[in-house]
Structure 1
């Protein structure tokens, strides 16, 4: 089943709208390189669109009514938004769910040390990465330090033109004979991902003079001491903004597009949809890259607890009503798929691969080796989406994550499916997935945002 390239169908107005969306998306990527930053950006956009903090409604026991738009954050790393529909919530919600964490390096709790008059930071990589991709890059430090008195110090070093950058060094080619004999997964070991941050010694110090110089810089510029790293959450990410990619500017290159390309388009669709009959919901969660665990991952009860609060504020609460709402809901697990790469055709089965320019991607199942760990959506739900997208001229394609037994991966889809709701993975094809710099097609960005709006209005 051949799918046409969507670029060929666009008129001038489409192209203009596409570029506006792409520009806003690049700004979101550039400003949101951590989960906390994404939540902060999302709150700004939500408030601009008229969404109110649910906590105020809870505190005042103020009833929610059709048309009300609310959001709630949790631990500054997860956000969920609701727009109350005109139909009874027991008929179910239309939900978009994406994750806003991305592969990176995290500073250890005791990270700062000196070796041969160089100051370095020890890291622990987060998520599935090819470790050799993270050396010799300009890197930035993003995150927070929470001091003992509860004060929060925000860290963002390496993004301004005047900022210094940091990085992980690599062995020079002239001395790397033994290194190049190693398998790719151990060319760079996890414990060797140490970030070089300084080499100037403090005056009048005999021991660890460079480290002490760095401690002085942290104290003077941020008011933090070495022990404050014990309660810090600092991420090491590629430095620099999201940019157009390709001489025709048809693509975007940026850090963190898995899964912020789907997170942003889900949020944009949610904010654009007004007066839907069914209550609509968008949830952007943390920790997907390490199994959706913890208090801010999809496995936590945050979503269920917040929905319970919503139900209580829209009428009489009952456990049975909550369960009916969940099982009658429809959800698009807004997550990326692997784009076909002509440099590596051997890992793909061409009839069932995702391609740039062919629209949003439906992954009926993900998982690995026998669909292990996958959701595997029902064909009735797939048929409903096919009809909906065709009727509203949304370009879509279907795909698997590579050849059978080649590898695999997972999403959050199986977790909400545990409530017995219909769920399918639906997102954007990505090149360089999990690399420091990932690539997406602007036309796919445009189609997936359009598709998400259609889903929220019509499913």
Structure 2
């Protein structure tokens, strides 16, 4: 039985331990292994059995976990699928990032995804990601690193030097965003690859001959925490969309279902999903082809399946209520949101919405609806992409939140566990 406070405490720990998609998948892999799931390697032949529980990882940043049906045929039972994404908007370090200006070491960054940039100033930043190196025996390896401590900052320009800052401030990503890491003295130099080699040694990786490459991301070291007089809210980095990854994972582990059940968490959603590990890539399709090589059988299975795409929704902001349609302003702590768009930016339709509403009613959980204002552009999710790639009926839902794509986002503290309960029941549905 999932309870709010223990659920949220585990969520906070997951968010803090997952500063990058690589770390998120590492943490999810640990949860699955502890629950008895078997990791399969994509380059090897597979042997899966009824009732078996398995998972695969691609690029160390995308993961699919699934249960084989125990007492029925996969074709007839279909798959109950939940999808989310592991990446979040952030600042990614460039390949040759070091610059020294006025004695300060800075690292050049690219903006990954549609980040809100102003909140990145004056934050205690650390650095994490994946490092590839050649070992002392001449073989190429990769390792995850996380400096964990504050090592960088992007200071704001003082108001005295920019009197219009509070009126009309824009951010130039090339000039304004390079974080400061150190103050160098004399002819002192600091190279990122040498810093990474030291960091690898600090975590007992002592066979590094040369750091060859890396994928590194800055992040705010502030931990997740409750907010509000009665802990009504909680704030954290990367709620979009690690919150959905955690909810989907806990629902799968809690469901104890004999149905075919699957969780897919793809990387690269924030930049369009077009990659080998993204939702617009072949990862999920290839998995289903391996489970059912015969196309007739596979198409029948997909027709008996359903996907719930879980990606956070825009809660109505009390200071900006005019940004929402008057009848579609979801509130935090009032239930997950069914996202609807006439132009198929979301994949929900009346049938999938009705089924999901019925499941939520069985759990005593309320739901809300979101439609973007008719005079505003609408975002999208992995829902329409997955529906188009494999032809599965799909619904788009999500926890309502504020400050989406900020370095620190806000959500209601009741919503995560309630959505997890609904998804757990969805995983156990005999038919969809």
TM-score (norm 2): 0.90
Mapped to 2, the partners of 1:112 and 1:447 lie a distance apart of 46
Q: Which residue of 2 aligns with 1:388?
A: 359
Mapped to 2, the partners of 1:230 and 1:169 lie a distance apart of 30
Alpha-carbon distance, 1:18 to partner: 0.5
Alpha-carbon distance, 1:310 to partner: 2.5
TM-score (norm 1): 0.85
- Aligned pairs for 1:277-426 (under 5 A) are 278-311=259-292, 317-365=293-341, 371-372=342-343, 374-401=345-372, 403-418=373-388, 419-426=390-397
Query: Which of 188, 192, 210 lines up with 2:176 in the alignment?
Result: 192
Secondary structure of the equivalent of 1:146? Answer: strand
Query: Which of 398, 401, 404 lines up with 1:427 in the alignment?
Result: 398
Structure 1 unaligned blocks of 5 or more: 1-12, 312-316, 366-370
- Aligned pairs for 1:53-452 (under 5 A) are 53-55=39-41, 59=44, 61-65=46-50, 67-85=51-69, 86-91=71-76, 92-148=78-134, 149-157=139-147, 159=148, 163-177=149-163, 182=168, 184=169, 186-201=170-185, 205=187, 209-211=188-190, 217-222=195-200, 231-276=213-258, 278-311=259-292, 317-365=293-341, 371-372=342-343, 374-401=345-372, 403-418=373-388, 419-452=390-423
Mapped to 2, the partners of 1:442 and 1:115 lie a distance apart of 44
Alpha-carbon distance, 1:55 to partner: 3.1
Mapped to 2, the partners of 1:415 and 1:251 lie a distance apart of 31
Mapped contact 1:109–1:229 kept (Cα < 8 A): no
| Cα deviation code 1:292-329 (max 9, x no counterpart) | 11111101111111222223xxxxx3122223322332
Structure 2 unaligned blocks of 5 or more: none
Mapped to 2, the partners of 1:243 and 1:228 lie a distance apart of 39
Mapped to 2, the partners of 1:101 and 1:390 lie a distance apart of 31
Q: 1:222 to 1:385 in 2, by over 3 A?
A: closer
Mapped to 2, the partners of 1:164 and 1:392 lie a distance apart of 43
Deviation larger for 302-311 or 257-266: 302-311
Q: 1:285 to 1:112 in 2, by over 3 A?
A: same
Alpha-carbon distance, 1:191 to partner: 4.0
Mapped to 1, the partners of 2:167 and 2:35 lie a distance apart of 55
Mapped contact 1:242–1:254 kept (Cα < 8 A): yes
* Alignment: residue pair count: 417
Q: 1:79 to 1:218 in 2, by over 3 A?
A: closer
Alignment RMSD (CA, Å): 2.3
| Cα deviation code 1:247-301 (max 9, x no counterpart) | 312221100000111110001000111133x300000110000111111110111
Mapped contact 1:113–1:211 kept (Cα < 8 A): no
Mapped to 2, the partners of 1:146 and 1:338 lie a distance apart of 37
Structure with the bigger percentage of strand: 2
Alpha-carbon distance, 1:440 to partner: 1.0
Alpha-carbon distance, 1:180 to partner: 5.3
Mapped contact 2:22–2:130 kept (Cα < 8 A): no
Mapped to 1, the partners of 2:9 and 2:318 lie a distance apart of 27
Q: 1:178 to 1:375 in 2, by over 3 A?
A: closer
Mapped contact 1:165–1:239 kept (Cα < 8 A): no
Alpha-carbon distance, 1:113 to partner: 1.6
Structure with the bigger percentage of helix: 1
